[in-house]
Homo-oligomer: A and B are copies of this chain.
């Protein structure tokens, strides 16, 4: 599905030009055309292709940068944001040591299974209960200490060809694998947190005492247009760590 950048025509709804430009860019980004290390065409070229002024194009790109979908680098170009370890840690991983030290977690794969969506996962993923799914369990450790027990559920249709081996041998983060191997870019996530008492599995995986209070984080990871692509329930020991709410825009 190759989209082409053509001169923009006014919208029925009367949307401003820069939003039309944003939509056009987003469609091109979704098509995967600019994935990887190659930069987008320069602002001059993009503006010319879309038949708009450079200022208007910049307005569109500004918004995509604010949404962390694009990254601009002066002198180099504009790129589709990739899921490097840094981005994972700072945008999607919200657990850090109580003294404030942030660190990338070490991940251990505990299980990989094919299953069916239960009601909760189905609702979160906007699919039907019983649809084919892949369930993955991970243990995340910080400074050698087990801290998070993750259970991921993925719609099988979106991740055809995903095997335990591929998951195990990925060179970078899971979201980076989604992006490079399946063309699925996670752009943001919704998380809801509650306190529960640790169940047997959590006790075993995290080594906490039965009955201790742990955090349960329910995450829906979204790609473009807020389409859900992953459902994840994380159990977090907060004996020596905290869940940190994403901070507001930087000064």
Contacts and interface: CB of A to CB of B under 8 A. Distances in A.
25 contacts: A68-B249, A91-B248, A94-B245, A190-B247, A191-B245, A192-B243, A192-B244, A192-B245, A193-B238, A193-B242, A194-B238, A194-B241, A194-B243, A195-B196, A195-B238, A196-B213, A196-B238, A197-B212, A197-B213, A211-B211, A213-B213, A213-B214, A218-B242, A225-B251, A245-B246
A192 B242 contact: yes
Contacts of A226: 251
A215 interface: yes
A188 interface: yes
Interface in A93-150: 94, 98
B214 A67 contact: no
Nearest to A224: B251
B194 A67 contact: no
A1 interface: no
A66 interface: yes
A195 B195 CA distance: 5
A2 B67 CA distance: 37
Interface string A210-222: 0111110010000
